[in-house]
């Protein structure tokens, strides 16, 4: 299982290291009709030793279907800064009367997990009303939402936009906030998406001019918006790649079996390829433990095995 998982991650690292054009061609091949053997041969020509069985497993783990997986949305928003009248640069206590303009959602990128297409909507290209309605429709359809700081930032910003537009709340969903997971499970020097993804060999965020790009977009600069769009879309692709990389590490992942998958399969990825992994204690009982051969997640049976203790700590 370790060797198989390493091979799957190797494909993600290859994608992360490629140029945008080469990476897109490989993604189309992986998700398209090209045979696994042919893809493995192409990768070998490029100097990558990836067996065709690993390509098949990568396809299986990155292509969920509606019948076996929750409808999962990967999303990232970009918002404008707050503008205020201030008299200094340090230790400023800005009052509400000093605010000249408050933050709003400028654009967002989103894709359904495993799909090739990334949706992009902006106030510049689509108008605010159409952009907000598109975000509402996507969230309303989603069973799960994946993002990076999405639970505290992206989703709440969108909820504000919905209530300001007098829209009802979208249907409930489960949040899979990768920033929270990275902070709770790992000790990277920085928990920023750019650093974590680079450390894992998944690629990096798109470089840009920083604040100047935001100001240029607010002023309607077409060239700036072109960069902004690419930056937003890259964040979504990077977030999806990170999700697949750490999928097996996510505790409390929404169980695929609740959405039409195998109720006895892996909670995290829905795979039925589980290997026995001894037993695990929980409270005063023991349960059969398993490890997923595809994503590596640990899980346990819902039925007790062995002896249940007759006492417990007071």
* CATH label of the domain that carries residue 219: 3.30.420.10
In this structure, is residue 87 part of a structural domain?
A: no
139 and 234 in a common domain: yes
Separation of first and last alpha carbons in the chain: 40
| Per-residue pLDDT, 309 | 67
Quote the domain boundaries for residue 296. Answer: 273-305
Domain shared by 55 and 78, yes or no: no
More confident call, 244 vs 283: 244
Distances (CA, A) of 112 to 75, 98, 132: 9, 41, 18
Lowest mean pLDDT among 37-51, 135-149, 218-232: 37-51
Global pTM reads 0.78
Higher pLDDT, 210 or 314: 210
Asked whether residue 236 falls in the same domain as residue 208, the answer is yes
With respect to residue 297, please indicate whether it lies within any of the assigned structural domains.
yes
Within 8 A by CB and 6+ apart from 47, the residues are: none
In a domain, 262, yes or no: no
Highest mean pLDDT among 43-47, 52-56, 116-120, 206-210 belongs to 116-120
Q: Does 123 lie in the same domain as 37? A: no
- Which of 12-26, 52-66, 212-226 has the highest average model confidence (pLDDT)? 212-226
> Concatenated DSSP letters for the chain?
-HHHHHHHHHHHHHHHHS-HHHHHHHHHHHHSSS-HHHHHHHHHHTT----HHHHHHHHHHH---TTTS--EEEEEEEEPPPEE--S-SSS----GGGEEE---EEEEEEEETT-S--EEEETTTT-HHHHHHHHHHHHHH-SEEEESSIIIIIHHHHHHHHHHTTPPPPPP-EEEEHHHHHHHH---S---HHHHHHHTTS--PPP--THHHHHHHHTT-HHHHHHHHHHHHHHHHHHHHHHHHHGGG-TTPPPGGGGTS-TTS-TTT--S-EEEEEEEEETTEEEEEEEETTT--EEEEEEEESPPPS----
Mean pLDDT in residue range 117-123:
97
Percentage above 70 pLDDT, the chain: 91
Of 34-38, 39-43, 161-165, 282-286, where does the model show the most confidence?
A: 161-165
167 and 210 in a single domain? The answer is: yes
Give yes or no: residues 103 and 25 share one domain.
no
Residue 240 maps to a domain: yes
Cβ contact 45:232 at 8 Å: no
Give mean pLDDT, residues 148-156.
97
């Amino acid at each position: 299982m370790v060797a198989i998982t390493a091979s799957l991650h190797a494909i993600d690292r290859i994608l992360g290291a490629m140029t945008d054009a080469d990476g897109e061609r490989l993604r189309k091949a992986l998700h398209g009709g090209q045979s696994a053997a042919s893809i493995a041969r192409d990768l070998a020509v490029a100097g990558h030793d990836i067996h065709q069985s690993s390509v098949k497993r990568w396809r299986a783990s990155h292509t969920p279907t509606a019948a076996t997986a929750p409808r999962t949305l990967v999303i990232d928003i970009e918002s404008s800064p707050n503008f205020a009248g201030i008299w200094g640069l340090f230790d400023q206590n800005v009052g509400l009367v000093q605010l000249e303009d408050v933050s709003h959602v400028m654009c967002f990128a989103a894709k359904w997990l495993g799909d090739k297409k990334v949706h992009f909507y902006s106030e510049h290209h689509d108008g605010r009303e159409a952009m907000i309605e598109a975000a509402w429709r996507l969230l309303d359809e989603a069973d799960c939402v994946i993002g990076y700081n999405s639970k505290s930032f992206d989703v709440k910003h969108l909820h504000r936009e919905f209530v300001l537009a007098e829209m009802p709340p979208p249907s409930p969903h489960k949040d899979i906030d990768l920033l929270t997971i990275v902070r709770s499970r790992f000790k990277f020097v920085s928990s920023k998406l750019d650093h974590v993804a680079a450390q894992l060999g998944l690629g990096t965020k798109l470089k840009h001019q920083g604040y100047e790009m935001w100001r240029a977009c607010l002023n309607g600069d077409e060239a700036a918006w072109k960069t902004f769009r690419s930056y937003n879309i890259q964040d979504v692709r990077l977030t999806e790649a990170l999700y697949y990389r750490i999928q097996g590490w996510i505790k409390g992942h929404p169980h695929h079996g609740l959405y039409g998958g195998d109720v006895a399969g892996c909670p995290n990825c829905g795979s039925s390829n589980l290997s026995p992994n001894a037993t695990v204690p929980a409270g005063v009982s023991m349960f059969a433990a398993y490890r997923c051969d595809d994503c590596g997640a640990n899980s346990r049976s819902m039925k007790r095995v062995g002896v249940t203790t007759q006492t417990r700590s007071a």
